[in-house]
């Protein structure tokens, strides 16, 4: 499903239909002994929402995020992306949707160590294959500059601090102008100052671009500064 960039921008609205929606979604794993990761989840994510997913360790927070991001498929129930049922899509089609509509930020930045910051940021653009080399470089530099990293474009990950590497990861997540950013414990490996920087960046992205950001976090103080808290316990939504 190809997505036109101009149309994409016009669709981001908190009052509009969900970007991603889960309907009665359950995910189980195992053959002999079955483990239920999430159970009977109903959840809609709209543009302009800054959401925190919280809950005890092992409660299903990351499993829920992976279902929202099409990184996993439900055992039962349905996942919709912009109104389109995603359950029956091939892996190739799901990968295309992820490239076009969803950006990911994880606790560990997962930058390729042999690549510069700029090269890491342009990787999703290369995978999508819509921009010429000059355009990719310009957009990558603009994204790094917007996050205060213009002087680090030609540095490799080992030459940057943890907070700087995580900001490069955020720039990479923004590479294809996604509607949604899904972040799994994005501050879990950072000091207090760097955590504040990441939270401020997310807040600005939501307020200025009306993107949706869904952040898994164990830090209830950070969660309390988002717009919406989604609490999960034993695989079920409780609030």
Domain locations in the chain as residue ranges? 5-237
CA–CA dist 137, 225 (Å, integer):
34
Q: What is the pLDDT of residues 117-154, one digit of tens each?
A: 999 999 999 999 999 999 999 999 999 999 999 999 99
Sort strands 50-54 and 228-233 into parallel, antiparallel or unpaired: parallel
Asked if pLDDT for residue 174 goes beyond 80, the answer is yes
Cβ–Cβ under 8 Å, residues 20 and 86: no
Give the global pTM: 0.88
Fold topology of 5-237: Rossmann fold (3.40.50)
Beta bridge partners of 105: 183
End-to-end distance of the chain based on CA atoms, in angstroms?
33
CA–CA dist 129, 188 (Å, integer):
32
Cβ–Cβ under 8 Å, residues 89 and 79: no
Q: What is the pLDDT of residues 96-127, one digit of tens each?
A: 999 999 999 988 888 999 999 999 999 999 99
Cβ–Cβ under 8 Å, residues 78 and 25: yes
* pLDDT grade for 3, boundaries at 50, 70 and 90: very low
* pLDDT grade for 14, boundaries at 50, 70 and 90: low
3-state secondary structure string across 64-130: HHHHHCCCCCCCEEEEEECCEECCCCCHHHHHHHHHHHEEEEECCCCCCCCCCHHHHHHHHHHHHCC
Residues near 215 by Cβ (< 8 Å), separated by ≥ 6?
50, 51, 52, 53, 183, 186, 202, 222, 223, 226
Cβ–Cβ under 8 Å, residues 214 and 181: yes
């Amino acid at each position: 499903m190809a997505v036109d960039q101009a149309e994409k921008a016009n669709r981001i609205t908190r009052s509009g239909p969900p970007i991603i929606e889960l309907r009665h979604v359950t995910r189980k794993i195992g053959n002999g002994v079955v483990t239920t990761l999430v159970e009977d989840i109903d959840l809609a994510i709209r543009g302009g929402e800054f959401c925190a997913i919280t809950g005890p360790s092992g409660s299903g927070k990351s499993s829920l995020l992976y279902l929202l991001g099409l990184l996993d498929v439900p055992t039962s129930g349905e996942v919709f992306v912009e109104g389109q049922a995603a359950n029956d899509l091939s892996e190739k089609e799901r990968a295309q949707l992820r490239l076009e509509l969803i950006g990911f930020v994880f606790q560990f930045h997962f930058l390729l160590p042999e690549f510069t910051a700029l090269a890491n940021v342009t990787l999703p653009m290369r995978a999508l294959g819509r921009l010429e080399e000059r355009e990719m470089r310009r957009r990558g530099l603009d994204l790094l500059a917007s996050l205060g990293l213009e002087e680090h474009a030609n540095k490799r990950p080992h030459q940057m601090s943890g907070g700087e590497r995580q900001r490069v990861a955020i720039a990479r997540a923004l590479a294809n102008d996604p509607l949604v950013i899904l972040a799994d414990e994005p501050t879990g490996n950072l000091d207090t100052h760097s955590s504040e920087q990441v939270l401020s960046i997310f807040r600005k992205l939501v307020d200025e671009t009306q993107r949706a950001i869904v952040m898994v976090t164990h830090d209830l103080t950070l969660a309390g500064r988002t717009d919406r808290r989604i609490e999960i316990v034993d695989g079920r939504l409780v609030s």
